[in-house]
Amino acid sequence: MISLLRGRIVSQEENRIILDVNGVGYELQLSGAALNKTKDSSDSVALHTHMHIKDNGIDLYGFASLDEKRLFQRIITVSGTGCKTALNILLAMTAGEFVTAILGENRAALTRISGIGKKTAERLILELRDPLNEAYKDVDLGISELSLSNGGVIQDALSALLALGYTWTEAETMISHACSQLPDIDDLQVLLKFALSLAGRSESS
């Protein structure tokens, strides 16, 4: 089993790379975090890997950290979710964003990912919520806990911004800034209007 590779990138196309490890070229499909890691590496790079054996060959997936690899391996245990879907998740979201979406039951964020419909989103939440809550209860995910607080208003506001085309990080930042300046965030329309107005000011500055 190949679990880690260190080498030099000799070619790249989108999220696929050829990694030269002592003269042997390995083709890997990378997560978003792994892609970012390779951009910061001018020489050699170390990637944690998951090897998937199938009828017509072997696929290798590369990850920035062991924790990210383990999250990928948790995702593929969900019924009906394979490596392709799991990789799409970690290309569209960071590990922290995905865990927060699962714990906050944010279906809108999940269904925006290629290959995930409503039924798959429900299965992901149902099968991963409890184990991820246990695994990450003492871990700093590096993002705010907005989606886990303030009930449905925050959830609905985040979902609305995602539907408008903002990324998860952009939407969460907008809502966070709005919440810090509004005395009352119980009104969804007021919260959204204020968040969008802040974004407009930022874009025009």
33-37 CB contacts, 8 Å cutoff, 24+ apart: 33/63, 33/64, 33/65, 33/68, 33/90, 33/94, 33/95, 34/62, 34/63, 34/64, 34/68, 35/91, 36/64, 37/64
If you ran DSSP here, which 8-state letter would residue 77 be given? T
Q: What is the pLDDT along the chain (205 residues), one digit of tens a residue?
A: 899 999 999 999 989 999 999 999 999 999 999 998 888 666 889 999 999 998 888 999 999 999 999 999 999 999 989 999 999 999 988 888 898 889 888 888 898 888 899 999 999 999 999 998 888 766 555 444 454 444 467 777 777 787 787 776 777 788 888 888 887 777 888 888 888 987 765 555 4
Single pTM value for the model: 0.72
pLDDT of residue 39: 84
Which residues, 6 or more positions from 30, have their beta carbon under 8 angstroms from its beta carbon? 15, 16, 17, 38, 47, 61, 62, 63
pLDDT of residue 165: 76
Q: Is 20 exposed, middle or buried (0-12, 13-18, 19+ CB in 10 A)?
A: middle
pLDDT of residue 202: 55
User: Which domains, ranges and CATH numbers included, belong to the chain?
Assistant: 4-64 (2.40.50.140), 66-143 (1.10.150.20), 144-205 (1.10.8)
Longest dimension (CA), the chain: 61
C-alpha 120: how far from its chain's center?
16
Distance, CA of 192 to CA of 189 (rounded, Å): 5
